[in-house]
């Protein structure tokens, strides 16, 4: 059955345009069969979700809708920051409990919104894949630091090429997964001075093919969501390779965040565009050995489903926030179902 599903998907991906033009009725039936079969394979046997969505969260201004939500983060005040690709209010702060919009800032500053991370001091770190820059803001929206040359891609201590995400150590050192253009992790000190980098493009241990998310565990080890290689790699603080995790269950990790000693992983799929094929989207909770201890999620556009999940963060109380890109274009809040 799964081989048949993959075959249908492959035909749709590579020959869909020609078939649709010459045989529109056949194409429609073929596509419908693929969708139904994919939904059965990818969602019918999923375990019951331990979380439920909070309907009506967040509260958006009248007439406003998100663009693609590429970054999301929660601070110590339970403020939830949403970084999205809409024409207005690129960076928005919501009350985590009520969903009320508290403020927005950064208007007109960004061209390709992507990663967002909140550090231990409630500063907001952002990456822009179009400007090739990393930004650090205070909780109130004051720009504190900019790293990278605006609109100038490169591979050195002063340039990025489409940086995707940031991780910040307790001493202020920070790591940038860089990214769509480059295939490396770059490390800087708290003042933004370049310290080192590691990685080249490839599939061997220590190489990357689209490092898309990055996080640090309590011991300071560096975890990288090596998206196009469908794996997570683990390094020490100086880039020495430790291990990697790769399996069908793990899928294609897009984003990763630590909470209470566990690594939360977004499997956003990747092979075929979700408008043509139901994805195997999932959220996973892993222990520090790489074992999946919890997994949930269902592909779709309705509340509580995951269409193309791109980012995740976990509030101090355990609530989970997920951002969708592409046709999902939303931020969702999930709370644990009481046993």
In order along its 339 residues, the chain shows pLDDT tens digits of 333 343 444 444 344 445 445 555 544 554 444 444 444 444 434 567 899 999 999 999 999 999 999 999 999 999 999 999 998 999 999 999 999 999 999 889 999 999 999 999 999 999 999 999 999 999 999 999 999 999 999 999 999 999 999 999 999 999 999 999 999 999 999 999 999 999 999 999 999 999 999 999 999 999 999 999 999 999 999 999 999 999 999 999 999 999 999 999 999 986 556 565 556 789 999 999 999 999 999 888 899 999 899 999 999 999 999 999 987 899 999 999 986
CA distance 124 to 146: 12
The predicted structure's pLDDT at residue 141: 93
The predicted structure's pLDDT at residue 278: 52
CA distance 52 to 48: 10
Fold classification of 48-336 is Neuraminidase (2.120.10)
For residue 85, how many other CB atoms are within 10 A of its CB? 18
The predicted structure's pLDDT at residue 6: 38
Give yes or no for a contact between 71 and 80, defined as CB atoms under 8 angstroms apart: no
The predicted structure's pLDDT at residue 147: 98
Give yes or no for a contact between 81 and 311, defined as CB atoms under 8 angstroms apart: no
Burial of 319 by CB count in 10 Å (0-12 exposed, 13-18 middle, 19+ buried)?
buried
Contacts of 126 (CB under 8 A, 6+ apart): 71, 83, 91, 106, 110, 113, 114, 115, 116, 134, 135, 136, 137, 166
For residue 173, how many other CB atoms are within 10 A of its CB? 17
Query: CATH 2.120.10.30 occupies which residues in the chain?
Result: 48-336
The predicted structure's pLDDT at residue 195: 98
């Amino acid at each position: 059955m799964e081989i048949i599903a993959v075959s249908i998907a492959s035909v749709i991906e590579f020959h869909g345009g020609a078939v649709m033009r010459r045989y529109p009725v056949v194409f429609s039936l073929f596509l419908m069969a693929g969708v139904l079969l994919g939904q059965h394979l990818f969602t019918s046997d999923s375990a019951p979700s331990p979380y439920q969505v909070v309907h009506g969260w967040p509260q958006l201004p009248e007439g406003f809708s998100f663009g693609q939500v590429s970054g999301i983060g929660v601070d110590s005040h339970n403020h939830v920051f949403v970084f999205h690709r809409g024409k207005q209010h690129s960076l928005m702060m919501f009350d985590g409990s009520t969903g009320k919009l508290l403020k927005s800032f950064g208007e007109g500053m960004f061209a390709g919104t992507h990663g967002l991370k909140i550090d231990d001091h409630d500063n907001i770190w952002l990456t822009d894949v179009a400007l090739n820059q990393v930004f650090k803001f205070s909780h109130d929206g004051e720009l504190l630091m900019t790293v990278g040359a605006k609109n100038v891609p490169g591979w050195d201590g002063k340039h990025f090429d489409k940086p995707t995400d940031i991780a910040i150590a307790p001493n202020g050192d920070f790591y940038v997964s860089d990214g769509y253009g480059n295939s490396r992790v770059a490390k800087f000190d708290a003042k933004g001075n370049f310290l080192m980098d590691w990685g080249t493009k490839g599939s061997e241990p220590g190489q990357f093919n689209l490092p898309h998310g990055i996080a640090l565990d309590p011991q300071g080890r560096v975890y990288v969501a090596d998206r196009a290689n469908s794996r997570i790699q683990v390094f020490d603080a100086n880039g020495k390779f430790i291990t990697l995790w790769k399996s069908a269950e793990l899928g294609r990790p897009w984003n990763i965040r630590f909470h209470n000693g566990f690594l939360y992983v977004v499997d956003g799929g990747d092979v075929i565009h979700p408008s043509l094929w139901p994805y195997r989207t999932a959220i996973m909770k892993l222990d520090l050995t790489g074992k999946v201890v919890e997994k949930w999620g269902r592909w779709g556009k309705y509340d509580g489903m995951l269409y193309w999940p791109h980012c995740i963060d976990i509030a101090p109380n355990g609530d989970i926030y997920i951002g969708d890109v592409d046709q999902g274009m939303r931020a969702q809040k999930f709370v644990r179902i009481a046993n």
